[in-house]
Amino acid sequence: MDVVVKPLVEDNLLLLNQAIRREPFAHYERYLSQCSGILIYLIAWCDGLPIGIVMVRWKGKSLPALERCYPGCPHLMDLYVVAAYRGCGVGTRLMMAAEQAVRVRGYAHLGLSVALQNRRARGLYERRGYQDVGLDTYHISWTEVDGEGKSREIEDECIYLVRML
């Protein structure tokens, strides 16, 4: 499978909105934040279609214990691969591209949250060297949008993992 990972450009917003549903304007807002230097928004493409996304916010998550141990650690968010393309290395490719972007910007670490019950994502992260840094678990909630555009609130208990790059 020929997969290319690159930062989102404005011309691709329409295709991305059609292929990967998020809250209204989420892709556009991320694109604007990328233009302002707040984050990088990487898209995986296969045969002209967006098949996966991941985002890195340069200013890390504000968890006091995290800021003490890993000050300024960027935060990876919303790793997602379209269901039909899972298990073929696309998630890994997105992680590699995100890590490379973080290195190029001069950071030594990258952090991320993962739900305790999300064994698949956690397995992927741990294989790539992300480790539980011993922070307390914490509660998050977000809006999930399905393929038909219906949204529902999700709540999860998460741990924080960090990798030295």
Ligand X SMILES: CC(C)(COP(=O)(O)OP(=O)(O)OC[C@H]1O[C@@H](n2cnc3c(N)ncnc32)[C@H](O)[C@@H]1OP(=O)(O)O)[C@@H](O)C(=O)NCCC(=O)NCCS
Select 34 or 113, whichever has its Cβ closest to ligand X.
113
Q: Which residue is nearest to ligand X (CB)?
A: 91
The number of residues in the chain equals 165
Distant-in-sequence, close-in-space partners of 77: CB < 8 Å, separation ≥ 6: 54, 55, 56, 57, 112, 113
Q: Is the dihedral of CA 98, 163, 120, 153 positive or negative?
A: negative
The CB-of-40 to ligand X minimum distance in angstroms stands at 17
Count CB-CB contacts under 10 A for residue 162: 22
Q: Does 120 bind ligand X (CB under 6 A)?
A: yes
The CB-of-88 to ligand X minimum distance in angstroms stands at 5
Rg (CA), the chain: 15
Among positions 52-81, residues that touch ligand X (CB under 6 A) are 79-81
Among positions 35-54, residues that touch ligand X (CB under 6 A) are none
Q: Does 131 bind ligand X (CB under 6 A)?
A: no
Q: Which residue has the tokens 């997105």?
A: 94
Cα 38 to the center of its chain, rounded Å = 14
Q: Does 114 bind ligand X (CB under 6 A)?
A: yes
Residues contacting ligand X: total by CB under 6 A: 16
Question: Which residues contact ligand X by CB under 6 A?
Answer: 79-81, 86-92, 114, 118, 120-121, 123-124
